[in-house]
């Protein structure tokens, strides 16, 4: 009778111990799971704090064609080849379109030829559109002239044979146009230091002293009787220059035999807007780096290189002192002739922004920006008919015009594709 009792006691004791062990294991497992979850949340928080400078889960999805060759604009035309990127491909407002009012645009007569990296000058109702690429293997060596009062292309002016065909510096005093340096030829050929002036009344050209060194797309403006040239890319087309030179000019002629050194620009690089307003000179946007000639290529074929686009704004005052101002709403480049001055504001159309963070392809800009010179403040005031870079912009009788450049691949794809000569206008109503 004793044996069964003792056996029953040991069995009950073992059962209690087993329950305690199971409870302890479950508690330990739950505790470890809780700790792991807290640790994972901590890592996630730290990751988001690092990555939040470009990830935005509320941004629109960008459709990216599944092209094998990112530099071939004819590849991937079929929308069946597009891939919809998942949430990890969301873009921040740096790359996506910024909120802006939709404007009504009216299409005007297209330029006689399409232009990429063309340049323009407006003198009253006459709009002079210079040079540029038709494509990488063909450049223009003439000026087309548009009359805003007639809304018609009315003239053609031949350029000097020695004059650059793209990446120029241009400025005007209201009659004479000054053309400085730039790239001579197709693809990614070398720059020239040659400089000229054009008398728009007689259509006669004169030579000016060459720049101390060739530059691609330097910021150029006529200011206080001197032609100022600064920044741009150096002779290898990629390294940013910070040099700043000036030359006294009058009535299309140089008053000095050589360029004078001035205070360097704080940040170098090409494709910037340069605007003179009274005793202030503004340099807006731009980039560091550019395409370079492929080593050993007999035709100087353009080869892709790393670029950094920025929205920096610098102001040079009458004391020759630089001041850093509020940056543009998004980084922006290829805006040399994309600006006009209206009602004491600088208006800028289109451009290029930072490359897509995943595909590394160029992203075009489709917004219109206003910089209020009284408040020194930027505003996004409208949208273009499509995203486009190197626009040539004018203003006449209340109408904002732009022509030429390289447009996007469609509403859902901000990559560059077709070079165009289209001209558009809209009635400008500033806020």
**Nearest to 351, CA basis, from 424, 425, 271:** 271
Q: Select from 92, 118, 141 the last residue of a domain.
A: 92
Enter the tokens of residue 202.
């007689």
Enter the tokens of residue 157.
């002016």
Are 174 and 210 part of one and the same domain?
yes
Q: Decide: 242 and 265 in contact? Cβ < 8 Å.
A: yes
Contacts of 413 (CB under 8 A, 6+ apart): 62, 63, 64, 65, 82
Contacts of 174 (CB under 8 A, 6+ apart): 123
Are 48 and 169 part of one and the same domain?
no
Are 378 and 414 part of one and the same domain?
yes
Q: Do the domain assignments include residue 121?
A: yes
Number of domains present in the structure of the chain: 2
Is residue 28 exposed (0-12), middle (13-18) or buried (19+ Cβ within 10 Å)?
A: exposed
DSSP state of 271: S
Q: Do the domain assignments include residue 156?
A: yes
Q: Do the domain assignments include residue 8?
A: no
Is residue 88 exposed (0-12), middle (13-18) or buried (19+ Cβ within 10 Å)?
A: exposed
Q: What share of residues in the chain are helix, strand, coil (percent, to 5)? A: 15, 45, 45
Residue with tokens 């292309």: 153
CATH value at residue 422: 2.120.10.80
Whole-angstrom CA distances from 128 to 148, 164, 275, 375 are: 11, 16, 17, 31
Are 67 and 167 part of one and the same domain?
no
In degrees rounded to 5, what are phi and psi of residue 84? -90, 120
Instruction: Give the C-alpha separation, 187 to 71, whole Å.
Output: 13
Instruction: Give the C-alpha separation, 172 to 258, whole Å.
Output: 20
Q: Do the domain assignments include residue 322?
A: yes
Distance between first and last Cα of the chain: 103
DSSP state of 431: -
Q: Decide: 196 and 270 in contact? Cβ < 8 Å.
A: no
What 3-state DSSP class applies to 387?
coil
Whole-angstrom CA distances from 35 to 29, 45, 114, 395 are: 10, 15, 63, 64
Q: Decide: 380 and 347 in contact? Cβ < 8 Å.
A: no
Q: Do the domain assignments include residue 9?
A: no
Are 198 and 301 part of one and the same domain?
yes
Q: Residue-wise over 177-215: b if at least 16 C-beta within 10 A, else e? A: bbbbbbbbebbbbebbbbbbbbebeeeebbebeebeebb
Are 106 and 76 part of one and the same domain?
no
Q: Quote the pLDDT of residue 318.
A: 95
Are 77 and 210 part of one and the same domain?
no
Q: Quote the pLDDT of residue 42.
A: 38
Are 383 and 422 part of one and the same domain?
yes
Are 157 and 305 part of one and the same domain?
yes
What 3-state DSSP class applies to 403?
strand
The DSSP secondary structure of 122-188, one letter per residue, reads EETTEEEEE--EEETTEE--EEEEEETTTTEEEEEEEPPTTS-SBS-EEEESSSEEEEEEEE-SSTT
Q: Select from 44, 72, 92 the last residue of a domain.
A: 92
Q: Do the domain assignments include residue 28?
A: no
Residue 291: give the domain boundaries: 102-427
Instruction: Give the C-alpha separation, 402 to 379, whole Å.
Output: 19
Are 87 and 135 part of one and the same domain?
no
Are 66 and 118 part of one and the same domain?
no
Q: Select from 92, 126, 158 the last residue of a domain.
A: 92
- Digits of tens for pLDDT over the chain (431 positions)? 333 333 333 344 444 555 554 555 555 555 555 444 444 433 333 322 222 222 222 333 333 333 333 333 343 333 333 333 333 334 455 567 999 999 999 999 999 999 999 999 999 999 999 999 999 999 999 999 999 999 999 999 999 999 999 999 999 999 999 999 999 999 999 999 999 999 999 999 999 999 999 999 999 999 999 999 999 999 999 999 999 999 999 999 999 999 999 999 999 999 999 999 999 999 999 999 999 999 999 999 999 888 999 999 999 999 999 999 999 999 999 999 999 999 999 999 999 999 888 888 899 999 999 999 999 999 999 999 999 999 999 999 999 999 999 999 999 899 999 999 999 999 999 97
Q: Quote the pLDDT of residue 94.
A: 54
Which bin fits 225, alpha (ψ -120 to 50), beta or left (φ > 0)? left
Q: Decide: 286 and 269 in contact? Cβ < 8 Å.
A: yes
Q: Do the domain assignments include residue 167?
A: yes
Q: Quote the pLDDT of residue 8.
A: 38
Q: Do the domain assignments include residue 117?
A: yes
Are 148 and 282 part of one and the same domain?
yes
In degrees rounded to 5, what are phi and psi of residue 89? -105, 5
**Nearest to 338, CA basis, from 118, 155, 126:** 118
């Amino acid at each position: 009778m004793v044996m069964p009792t003792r056996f029953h006691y040991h069995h009950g004791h073992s059962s209690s111990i087993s329950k305690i062990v199971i409870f302890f294991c479950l508690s330990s497992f739950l505790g470890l799971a809780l700790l792991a979850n807290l640790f994972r949340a901590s890592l996630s928080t730290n990751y988001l704090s690092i990555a939040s400078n470009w990830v935005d889960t509320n941004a629109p999805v960008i459709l990216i064609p599944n092209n094998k060759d990112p530099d071939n604009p004819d590849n991937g035309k079929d929308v069946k080849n597009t891939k919809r990127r998942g949430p990890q491909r969301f873009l921040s407002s740096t790359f996506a379109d910024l909120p802006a009012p939709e404007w009504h645009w009216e299409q005007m007569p297209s330029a006689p030829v399409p232009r990429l990296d063309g340049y323009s000058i407006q003198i009253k109702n006459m709009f002079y559109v210079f040079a540029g690429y038709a494509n990488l293997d063909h450049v223009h060596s003439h000026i087309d002239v548009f009359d805003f009062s007639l809304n018609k292309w009315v003239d053609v002016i031949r350029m000097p044979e020695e004059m650059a065909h793209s990446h120029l510096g241009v400025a005007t005093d209201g009659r004479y146009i000054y053309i400085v340096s730039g790239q001579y030829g197709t693809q990614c050929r070398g720059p020239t230091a040659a400089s000229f002036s054009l008398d728009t009344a007689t259509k006669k050209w004169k030579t000016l002293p060459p720049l101390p060194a060739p530059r691609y797309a330097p910021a150029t403006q006529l200011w206080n009787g001197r032609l100022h040239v600064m920044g741009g890319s150096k002779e290898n087309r990629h390294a940013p220059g910070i040099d700043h030179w000036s030359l006294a000019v009058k009535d299309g002629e140089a008053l000095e035999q050589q360029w004078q050194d001035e205070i360097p620009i704080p940040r170098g690089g090409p494709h910037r807007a340069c605007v003179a307003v009274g005793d202030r000179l503004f340099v807006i946007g731009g980039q560091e780096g550019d395409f370079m000639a492929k080593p050993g290529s007999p035709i100087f074929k353009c080869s892709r290189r790393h670029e950094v686009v920025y929205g920096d704004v610098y102001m040079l005052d009458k004391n020759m002192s630089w001041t850093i101002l509020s940056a543009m709403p998004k980084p922006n480049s290829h805006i040399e002739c994309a600006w006009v001055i209206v009602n004491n504001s600088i208006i800028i159309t289109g451009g290029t922004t930072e490359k897509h963070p995943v595909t590394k392809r160029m992203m075009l800009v489709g917004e219109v920006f206003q910089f209020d010179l009284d408040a020194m403040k930027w505003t996004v005031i409208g949208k273009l008919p499509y995203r486009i870079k190197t626009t040539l912009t004018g203003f006449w009788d209340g109408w904002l015009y732009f022509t030429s450049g390289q447009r996007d691949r469609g509403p859902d794809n901000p990559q560059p594709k077709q070079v165009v000569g289209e001209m558009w206008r809209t009635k400008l109503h500033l806020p």
